[in-house]
Every structure is written in structure tokens, then in C-alpha cells.
Amino acid sequence: MTGIESFFVHTVTVETFQGTGAAGDVYAAPATVPGFLEGKLQLVRDAAGQQVVAASTLYCSVADGARFTPDSKVTTGGRVSHVISQNVNDAPGLGLPEHAAIYLK
């Protein structure tokens, strides 16, 4: 535990993007992830370096953050979003809580 888990009051379902196959996009089986979902418009850069507006940000554990590769599907409350990018926030040696910030469109 990193000390930030008590703030994880939301739950999302993520289907990790695995690539494109003959029948279209391929996703991993859905996984449930706890986190904190913040609805706020924010300008971020996508994997290609282009500026994109994120409609919301999900904060979760760094371990769960690995599931949120670009273009993965994230479902919460019946709304489907896609991952733009993510950022791992850590401060080795300072004792601050580590977490991942997942930017969604």
C-alpha cells in the first residue's frame, strides 16, 4: 500500500488494447480497477506527441496503471472512454504516495 488507496472511491472497467487483428481492434478481457475519477478538461499529449483534450483523469495504483495502454477502453457508469496517455507520479525517497494518472478522451 502506498497510502493513497483510501481516496480510490470509484471503480472502472478496463479492456487493455492489444493491437489490431484481421477482425479489427483486439482487447484483453475486462478487468475492474479501483481509482479516483476526476472529470476535468485538460490538454495532454498523445503517444504521437499531438495535443489532445482529455475529458477526465483516472488516478490509480502504479501496478494497475500498466493495464491502461494508449487506446485501451475504459468503462464507468455506462460511459466508454479511451486512454490517451498516462503518467506515473512517484518521488523515490520522499515517502510520498505513488500513483498513475490516466488521461481519457
Domains and CATH numbers, the chain: 5-104 (2.40.10)
The CA–CA distances, whole Å, from 53 to 1, 46, 83 equal 31, 9, 11
**Cα–Cα dist 74/33, whole Å:** 10
pLDDT tens string 43-77: 999 989 999 999 999 999 999 999 999 999 999 98
What's this model's pTM, rounded to 2 decimal places?
A: 0.89
HSE-CB of 90 using CA atoms within 13 angstroms: 10
* Nearest C-alpha neighbor of 85 from the set 54, 39, 41, 40: 54
Q: How confident is the model at residue 2 (pLDDT cuts 50, 70, 90)?
A: low
Q: Which three cell numbers stand for residue 82?
A: 479511451
Residue 80: is its pLDDT beyond 60? Answer: yes
